């Protein structure tokens, strides 16, 4: 919207506290434009977003007359450069180095790197090592999803936040009985919201304890969290035993019992928001463009040979695939791999179109595009942020379907995993069954609790509430898979098949790729080896896909797309606005970026520099 001789009013709002938490503060830098139409567009920036991992900034223009976000740009303010300093390294160190990409899901990177190395070295680990790795990664899903769902994003739905931002909703919650109270123990929706209050809510505190339990499970299998010490190409260093499996199972049973309450509790909470705020399905809604790279290998099918990747990829216990407008386009990892394109978009990089290509054809003879990760060059060009030109350190990954470059997202991870797995209908391990339209998850009788079957059904929307709902269901999915994996591992041990590592030789020249699911969604590592050293290495976690900027064709990234155009349901007026609908949408993707701590007001002017702990900010 053009402005005719605009009056620029720059405002730094006074500190606003959330009721009940006097020491928890929020400061919002505002810049107000007076437009020629007489309506007001307010530029509001949250930088960094709190209660996530890292330096994500969200910059919006909001029309308070229409109660709508009319424009959004998302930024990441730190350059990392792993693809630069990986060059020349011994490829056998790749998993140890790339694990440090993230301090919360480093094991996902280590696992994916090992998969890429196994392919490059031509080594197939013994089955018990894959079961151990599956158990470790299942525990990571249980740990991380639990911590984020109930100690970070869950705060967006707690009493303190709802009472402050939507007092009418809070009043209704107090008078609304929880339909599944018998399963989770909370009589009203208000009781659920109280239980999520940070540092004092009953469920909030219980979730912290369960996260610790899941972390212990992880360490039993992978040695150390979050940078595993026993994961390596060719297998694992963990010593399998009946005692190891039993120690894991004891903890897993407690987590399973917890899940029997978690899923119905969140179903009640999210269903209530649909009822209390008609039209809330529009918050965070975007076109269904979901991607999952698959997870949990079947050791009796997986060979890490690229030439048979179509087959062993489809045998994963989380099915790889791409869903567009509700239709499953493919479950073929080879097709998925060849379709990846890395665009610069409005990021701070120089193009590599004049640089040499590392890979022209894959091992099956298929041509590989110049913009594929195997051929990417990272050429940083730092500059002033300009939303009309360049504004972030995140590139713009896209997937080419033969006609269009699609801005895929992960649905925060679980939504894409469940949607793809449901439609594919390939997974059936007793505890988990994909039906073609749903995923059935059976948690067996444990202690005094009876057997429970949950069924996640494909929702009408890819939106904020469904991303969050799927996270609870996938916690149960991971726990159910872990029950199956520990049974398989125990059988291997009892049969005496305890060899955990296969020797290998690093070839002089090779390529490899690893595909798996990080907690937040699709994760790939692409490696090129020349003369026995790393010549090119590019990891692509879920957040570059989700947090990508506008691409070369002006298509916004998923965060931007999900926020831009959403209606504002918050009851606060402009002068007391917290942006809770925007924050719920961003956090529903479970963002993970490098850390950042600055706040700014207009034209890059620094107002305050402060340490902003992610768990100490309510909105």
CA atoms within 13 A on the CB side of 399: 27
Judged against a pLDDT cut of 50, whether residue 598 lies above it is answered with no
Q: HSE (CB half, 13 Å, CA atoms) of 67?
A: 10
Q: Mean pLDDT throughout 499-510? A: 98
| pLDDT tens string 158-213 | 999 999 999 999 999 999 999 999 999 999 999 999 999 999 999 999 999 999 99
CATH 1.10.645.10, applies to 82-546 = yes
Calculate the average pLDDT of the chain.
89
pLDDT of residue 473: 98
Model confidence at 606, pLDDT cuts 50, 70, 90, reads very low
pLDDT score of 305 = 98
Q: Tens digit of pLDDT for each residue in 394-416?
A: 999 999 999 999 999 999 999 99
Section 96-106 average pLDDT: 90
Which of 259-273, 453-467, 481-495, 590-604 has the lowest average pLDDT?
A: 590-604
Q: How much of the chain exceeds pLDDT 90, in percent?
A: 83
**What is the pLDDT, as a whole number, of residue 53?**
67
Phi and psi at 213, nearest 5°, equal -60, -45
Mean pLDDT of 301-315: 98
CA dihedral 604, 609, 612, 618 (to 10 degrees): -60
Q: Specify the pLDDT at position 321.
A: 98
d(CA 76, CA 445): 46
Q: Note whether 406 and 343 are within 8 A (CB).
A: no
Both structure tokens of 311: 């087959």
For 49-94, the DSSP string reads: PSSSBS-EEEEEEEETTTTEEEEEEEEE-----HHHHTTTS-GGGH
pLDDT for 276: 98
Residue spans per domain, the chain: 8-78+550-609, 82-546
Q: At what angle do helices 580-588 and 464-494 cross, to 10 degrees?
A: 30
pLDDT band per the 50, 70, 90 thresholds, residue 594: very low
> At residue 24, what are phi and psi to the nearest 5 degrees?
-105, 115
Residue 97 corresponds to which tokens in the numbers above?
A: 């180095």
Asked if the model's pLDDT at residue 596 lies above 50, the reply is no
Q: Is the pLDDT of residue 603 over 80?
A: no
What is residue 618's predicted lDDT score, i.e. its pLDDT?
57
Residues with Cβ within 8 Å of 305's Cβ and at least 6 positions away in sequence, in order, are: 119, 122, 124, 312
How does pLDDT run across 29-72, given as a tens digit for each residue? 333 332 333 457 899 999 877 777 667 899 999 999 999 999 99
SS (H, E, C) 177-234: ECCCHHHHCCCEHHHHHHHCCCCCCHHHHHHHHHHHHHHHHHHHHHCCCCCCCCEECC
């Amino acid at each position: 919207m053009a402005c005719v001789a605009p009056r620029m009013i720059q405002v730094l709002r006074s500190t606003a506290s959330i009721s009940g938490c006097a020491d928890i503060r929020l400061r919002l830098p505002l810049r107000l434009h007076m437009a020629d139409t007489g309506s007001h567009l307010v530029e509001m920036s949250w930088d960094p977003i709190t209660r996530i991992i890292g330096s994500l900034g969200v910059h919006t223009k909001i029309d308070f007359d229409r109660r709508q976000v009319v424009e959004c740009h998302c930024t990441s303010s730190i350059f990392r450069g792993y693809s630069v300093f990986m060059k020349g390294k011994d490829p056998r160190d790749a998993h140890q180095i790339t694990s440090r990409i993230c301090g919360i899901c480093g094991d996902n990177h280590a696992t994916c790197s090992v998969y890429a190395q196994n392919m490059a070295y031509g080594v197939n680990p013994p089955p018990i090592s894959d079961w151990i790795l599956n158990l470790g990664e299942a525990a990571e899903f249980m740990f991380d999803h639990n911590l984020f769902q109930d100690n970070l994003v869950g705060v967006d739905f707690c009493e303190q936040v709802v009472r402050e931002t939507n007092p009418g909703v809070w009043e209704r919650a107090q008078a609304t009985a929880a339909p599944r109270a018998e399963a989770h123990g909370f009589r009203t929706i208000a009781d659920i919201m109280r239980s999520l209050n940070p540092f004092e809510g009953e469920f909030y505190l219980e979730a912290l304890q369960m996260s610790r339990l899941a972390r212990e499970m992880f360490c039993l299998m992978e040695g150390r969290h979050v940078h595993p010490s026993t994961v390596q190409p060719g297998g694992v260093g963990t010593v399998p035993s009946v005692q190891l499996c039993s120690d894991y199972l004891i903890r897993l049973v407690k987590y399973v019992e917890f899940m029997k309450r978690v899923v119905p509790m969140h179903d009640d909470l999210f269903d209530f928001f649909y009822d209390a705020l008609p039209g809330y399905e529009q918050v965070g809604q975007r076109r269904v463009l979901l991607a999952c790279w698959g997870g949990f290998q079947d050791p009796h099918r997986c060979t890490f040979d690229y030439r048979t990747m179509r087959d062993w990829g489809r045998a994963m216990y989380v099915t790889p695939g791409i869903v567009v407008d509700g239709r499953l386009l493919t479950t073929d990892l080879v097709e998925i791999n060849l379709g990846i394109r890395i665009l610069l978009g409005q990021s701070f990089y120089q193009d590599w179109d004049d640089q040499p290509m590392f890979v022209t054809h894959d091992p099956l003879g298929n041509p590989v595009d110049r913009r594929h990760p195997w051929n990417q060059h990272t050429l940083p060009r730092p500059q002033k942020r300009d939303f009309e030109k360049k504004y972030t350190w995140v590139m713009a990954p896209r997937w080419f379907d033969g006609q269009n470059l699609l801005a895929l997202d992960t649905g925060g991870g679980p939504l894409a995993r469940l949607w793809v797995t449901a439609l594919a209908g390939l997974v059936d391990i007793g505890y988990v069954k994909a039906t073609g339209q749903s995923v059935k998850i059976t948690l067996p009788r444990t202690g005094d609790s009876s057997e429970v079957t949950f069924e996640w059904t494909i929702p009408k929307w890819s939106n904020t509430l469904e991303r969050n709902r799927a996270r609870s269901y996938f916690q149960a999915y991971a726990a159910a898979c872990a029950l199956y994996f520990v049974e398989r591992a125990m059988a291997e041990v009892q049969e005496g098949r305890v060899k955990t590592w296969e020797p290998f030789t690093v070839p002089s020249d090779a390529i490899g790729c690893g595909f798996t699911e990080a907690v937040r969604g699709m994760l790939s590592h692409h490696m090129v080896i020349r003369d026995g050293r790393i010549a090119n290495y590019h990891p692509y976690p879920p957040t570059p896909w989700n947090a990508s900027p506008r691409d070369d064709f002006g298509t916004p990234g998923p965060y931007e797309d999900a926020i831009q155009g959403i209606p504002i349901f918050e009851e606060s007026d402009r002068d007391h606005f917290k942006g809770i609908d925007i924050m719920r949408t961003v956090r529903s993707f479970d963002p993970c970026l490098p850390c950042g701590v600055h706040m700014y007001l207009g034209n890059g002017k620094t107002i305050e520099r402060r340490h902003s702990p992610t768990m100490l900010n309510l909105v």
